[in-house]
Structures are given as structure tokens and as C-alpha cells.
């Protein structure tokens, strides 16, 4: 017989981490949460020293049908995406592709419904951005946009009103984010000064909540579903299924 939890999370990337953050804000003090993470929780100093974010060979975990296109992916605590800090929103029209462009289907929700949640996540991450642009906003970005370079300024002059600084999770204000201001060295996938928002560095507190049990090196192989509910999660760890 397996153990019982109120919530089981698979992975520690952005989606599950922000979901867990919100869940804990409403969960009772005796809630039991298990988070299963395939990778290990490696010290950031190890990552900088080794020039990579994971000690797991991702190419051994998948069968790539197009080997000429290398998958850039990591398996480690904090998420697997190659994260460089760019944080554009979806456009309002992205939710209406079917009705506006005759492509696919419309989303069951619209931009207006999602916008307050964009705002809350951007506040947590300390996003730097410029007022205006293609994304309607209910409030300004938490941090000012990063300065434009000479090429940006030339493009803005050539195409007035069409160039907007990319919203970014790279800190533009230490006072507002408590993170070192971006040094613009261009190696954002493994930021040497921890300026870029990362789950493993700046959001790990959600996994340190006493209600949460984090189990690393646990590879979820399948889930059991009964009706509309997941009733079991099966994972491999240390050569055994649990």
C-alpha cells in the first residue's frame, strides 16, 4: 500500500512551482504534499564550476527522431528548460486563433481573464519591462526595462512604435528584486551572478515549507487515473518502483 498525500507534484519547473506556491497559500496547516523530481538538487557553485545545470545526460533519456536537431534540455531541480529569462506574454489574439484567423481553435479563456495572473507571477519574478507595447496591462512592470543598445535605437528610429524591449526576468533593479543587476555578459542560460530569476535560487522556499516533502532522483513513469482523478503516481528510485 502506498502513502497518501493531498497533492503530488511531478517536477520542480515553473508550472509546478507556481502552482505549489498558490496551493500552499490556501492549504491547511496539516496538508501533506509530495513533489517528485527526476533530477538532483545541485549546488549553484557546482553548476558554475562545471558549466552546466545538470549532471544527467538528457540525450540518454530520450530517443531523438531528428538527431540533427539537438534537444537543449536539463534534468535537475528547478526545471528542465533552457531558461534565458525572456518573458513575453501571449497576445490577446493568440487566444482567438480560430475566430480571428481560422487556425485551430479558440482558447476557452481570454487574455483578460489570464491577465491578473500574469501580473502576479511577474511581480514574484521581478520582471523588467517597458510601458506600452502589444500586451495590455493592468499595472506597470515591477522593474524598469533594460537600456537599449545602439542597434536597438537604430531599429526604433527606422520602425517607430514597433520596437519594444523584451520583458525579462533578468534583474534591472537590485532594490526591487534583491538580485544583482544584470551584467549583460550574454551567457544567460547559466547566469554567473544569479541575476536571472530561477526556481532553484529564488523560489526554493516553496519546497522548504514543512508541509512539503521533496524527493529527488525520482523518475515518474506513470500515473493511475480513476474517473477524472489521478489516484496514484508510480516512480523509479534507486532501481526500484514505488
Question: What does the pLDDT look like over 189-223, one tens digit per residue?
Answer: 889 999 999 999 999 999 999 999 999 999 999 99
CB within 8 Å of 47: residues ≥ 6 apart: 53, 190
CB within 8 Å of 121: residues ≥ 6 apart: 18
What is d(CA 61, CA 53) in angstroms, rounded to the nearest whole number?
A: 16
Question: What does the pLDDT look like over 108-126, one tens digit per residue?
Answer: 999 999 999 999 999 999 9
Q: What percent of the chain has pLDDT over 70?
A: 98
DSSP state of 146: P
**Sequence-separated contacts (24+) of 20-25 with Cβ below 8 Å:** 20/206, 20/207, 20/212, 21/124, 21/203, 21/206, 24/206, 24/209, 24/211, 24/212
What is d(CA 159, CA 26) in angstroms, rounded to the nearest whole number?
A: 47
1 has pLDDT over 50: no
What's the full length of the chain, in residues?
242
Strand order in the sheet with 219-226: 219-226, 229-237, 240-241
75/22: higher pLDDT: 22
Question: What does the pLDDT look like over 129-145, one tens digit per residue?
Answer: 998 888 999 999 999 99
Closest by alpha carbon to 220, among 32, 35, 18?
35
Q: pTM to 2 decimals? A: 0.87
Question: What does the pLDDT look like over 22-73, one tens digit per residue?
Answer: 999 999 999 999 999 999 999 999 989 998 888 887 767 778 888 888 777 7
Amino acid at each position: 500500500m502506498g502513502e497518501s498525500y493531498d497533492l503530488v507534484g511531478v517536477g520542480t519547473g515553473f508550472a509546478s512551482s507556481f502552482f505549489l506556491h498558490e496551493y500552499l497559500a490556501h492549504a491547511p496547516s496539516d496538508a501533506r504534499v509530495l513533489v517528485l523530481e527526476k533530477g538532483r538538487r545541485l549546488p549553484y557553485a557546482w553548476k558554475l564550476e562545471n558549466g552546466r545545470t545538470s549532471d544527467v545526460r538528457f540525450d540518454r533519456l530520450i530517443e531523438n527522431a531528428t538527431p540533427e536537431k539537438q534537444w537543449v534540455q536539463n534534468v535537475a531541480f528547478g526545471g528542465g528548460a533552457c531558461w534565458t529569462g525572456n518573458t513575453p506574454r501571449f497576445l490577446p489574439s493568440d487566444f482567438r486563433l480560430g475566430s480571428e484567423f481560422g487556425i485551430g481553435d479558440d482558447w476557452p479563456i481570454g487574455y483578460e481573464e489570464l491577465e491578473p495572473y500574469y501580473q502576479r507571477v511577474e511581480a514574484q519574478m521581478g520582471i523588467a519591462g517597458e510601458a506600452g507595447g502589444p500586451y495590455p496591462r493592468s499595472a506597470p512592470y515591477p522593474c524598469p526595462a533594460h537600456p537599449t543598445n545602439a542597434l536597438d535605437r537604430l531599429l526604433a528610429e527606422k520602425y517607430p512604435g514597433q520596437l519594444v524591449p523584451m520583458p525579462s526576468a533578468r534583474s534591472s533593479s537590485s532594490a526591487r528584486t534583491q538580485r544583482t543587476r544584470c551584467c549583460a555578459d550574454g551567457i544567460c542560460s547559466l547566469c554567473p551572478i544569479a541575476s536571472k530569476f530561477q526556481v532553484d535560487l529564488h523560489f526554493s522556499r516553496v519546497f522548504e515549507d514543512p508541509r512539503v516533502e521533496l524527493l529527488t532522483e525520482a523518475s515518474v513513469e506513470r500515473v493511475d487515473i480513476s474517473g477524472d482523478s489521478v489516484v496514484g503516481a508510480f516512480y523509479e528510485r534507486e532501481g526500484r518502483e514505488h
